[in-house]
Amino acid sequence: MGLCGLRGTHMENVYDFYKPNLASEYPIVDGKLSIQCYLRALDRCYTSYRKKIQNQWKQAGSDRPFTLDDLQYVIFHTPFCKMVQKSLARLMFNDFLSASSDTQTSLYKGLEAFGGLKLEDTYTNKDLDKALLKASQDMFDKKTKASLYLSTHNGNMYTSSLYGCLASLLSHHSAQELAGSRIGAFSYGSGLAASFFSFRVSQDAAPGSPLDKLVSSTSDLPKRLASRKCVSPEEFTEIMNQREQFYHKVNFSPPGDTNSLFPGTWYLERVDEQHRRKYARRPV
């Protein structure tokens, strides 16, 4: 599996999710603005990516539009799972607006009434959201739903969420099913910076091939999730209180039972008086 090289990137200076108080680890979040920023960045990254890949195809002698049909799977940065379903629907809306009137009528049933809208005017359009979710349901089930396995069980993983989606996708498909496919990916960070790009999966799915080994390495995700340690609400609250108590503190060793960590896990052992951090590792 490798990166295809092309990417569409968008950046803005916006206060949707930020940390002005350096004495606290908790951010200030403007939820409504953050969702609009995410969708706007998705629109602009996808538009840029489509233009670039269409230009590349045109130079190679193929003058046709790029659509979601050219991606076998699509994964997203995942703040919450419903946002991902809306995001795939949003990409379908981009394809719909770019299509000819005949194509809009024949391929995008239920969206005809929204053909005259502009992307920037639709971020709070509830009627459009409902129509898009309905129109894109089958595509979501085929291209994206499997990628939400870890997010469904773990919640928001922030920076790692996109690659958690990739691992989930690999764990739910065989090497033979994945071979030769193109996986679209949307990476997002608040503030904001975002990119849309794609992976190309190897054609070689033979036993022992790199693809076969990669897929096999994710096959134990359900078992690993099942091995998580359950804690009571009271214990969880105490853990969070300790995080707040020791934030920016020096000359201390964090409390906690390291024996419950997975083998091979690195953990913070001590912070000295000069803020130097020492780590230790559980035996493999």
Please report the pLDDT score of residue 268 as a whole number. Answer: 95
Cα–Cα distance measured from residue 34 to residue 15, given in angstroms and rounded to the nearest whole number: 8
Q: Whole-prediction pTM value?
A: 0.92
Q: Is residue 1 part of a domain?
A: no
User: Do 94 and 220 belong to one domain?
Assistant: yes
Which residues are catalytically annotated?
77
Predicted confidence (pLDDT) at residue 278 exceeds the cutoff of 90: yes
Could you tell me if 120 and 184 lie in one domain? yes
| Domain interval for residue 275 | 233-282
Query: Do 169 and 277 have their domain in common?
Result: no
Residues 87 and 48 in one domain: yes
Binding residue numbers? 34, 82, 86
Task: Say yes or no to pLDDT of 46 above 90.
Answer: yes
Contact assessment for residue 15 and residue 32, using Cβ atoms and an 8 Å cutoff: no
Domain boundary residue among 212, 227, 242?
A: 227
Amino acid 103: pLDDT? 87
Question: C-alpha angle with apex 101: 98 to 106, nearest 5 degrees?
Answer: 100
Are 65 and 93 found together in one domain? yes
Q: What is the pLDDT of residues 206-247, one digit of tens each?
A: 999 999 999 999 999 999 999 988 999 999 999 999 989 899
Q: Are residues 54 and 117 in the same domain?
A: yes
| Count of structural domains, the chain | 2
Residues 200 and 217 occupy one common structural domain = yes
Q: For 17-28, write each residue's pLDDT tens digit.
A: 999 998 888 999
The pLDDT score that the predictor gives to residue 236 is: 93
- The closest alpha carbon to 42, from 111, 123, 107, 100, belongs to 123
pLDDT digits (tens, 9 = 90+) for 134-189: 999 999 999 999 999 999 999 999 889 999 999 999 999 999 999 999 999 999 99
- Is 77 in a helix, a strand, or coil? coil
> Which residue positions form the known binding site for CoA?
34, 82, 86
